[in-house]
Amino acid sequence: MGKNSLWCRQHQVVKLNPRNLKSLDPETRNLEWQRMEKIMRDEPQELRGIRLYLRSLLWSRVQGVREDAWKHLHLYKELEVKGLEKAFSSRSDRIKLTAWQHVREVIELGLLSREELVGLRQHFWRMLRSYYPTVRKKAWKLLPVLVNLGIVGLRDRERLVEFLKIRKPGIRMMAWSTAKFLVEKGILTSEDVEQNLIYLKELTERESSLSLRARRILEELK
C-alpha cells in the first residue's frame, strides 16, 4: 500500500489553472508558472491550446502579471508563440517599456528578429518623451542597449539631434547625458554636439539639481 501511494504521488497529473497566472497574489502566480514549467517538460502539447492566452499576459495592465510572463520567455519560444510585436507597439507606455526591457532576450530566443525590432523602434521614440517620468528615465537608460544591439543607429542621427534641443528641460537633460556615448559610437558627430551646445548651456543658467548635472556633462564634453 505504501509503495502504491508513493507511485501515485510521483505520477500524479499536474492540473493547470491558467486563470491563476492573472492572480493579484504573486505566490499564486509563481506556483502556477511552476506548474507550467512541469507540464512543458512532461506534456507540452497540453499548453498549445492556451498560446493566445499566454501571449496576452505579455501586455497585461497588471505590472506583476506582465513581468512574470516576460520572465518565462523560454516557454513562449518552446511553444512557438507568435505576435510579440503587439507588446512593443502598445499604446500603453508601461506595457511597451516592459517589452523593450526584454529586447535582448527576445532577439536571442528568436521570438523577433533584429530587423523586425528596427521596424518597431518608432514606438520606442515615444517613450523617450513619455508623460510618465519613470518611463522616460528607464527608456533613456535603454537607449545604449538598443544602440549596442544595432536597433538604433546612424539612420537615427537627425532624430537624436532634435532631442538635444527639445523644449522640455528634463528630456533635454537625458538626451545630453547620452551624447558622449553616441559620439563614441559614431551615431552623433563632434560637430552635432558643438553646434547644439547652446542648448546644454541653457540648462546651467538656473540653480537646480538639473543645472548641476548639466555642468558636469558640459565639463565631460570639453
Q: What is the pLDDT of residues 37-70, one digit of tens each?
A: 999 999 998 899 999 999 999 999 999 999 999 9
Top-confidence residue, 1 or 153: 153
Per-residue cell: 215: 555642468
Contact 54, 79 (CB under 8 A): yes
Per-residue cell: 126: 515615444
The pLDDT, as a whole number, for residue 202 is: 94
The pLDDT, as a whole number, for residue 222 is: 80
Contact 186, 151 (CB under 8 A): no
pLDDT, tens only, 9-22: 444 455 789 999 99
Q: Which residue's C-alpha cell is 544591439?
A: 149
CB under 8 Å to 162, separation ≥6 — which residues? none
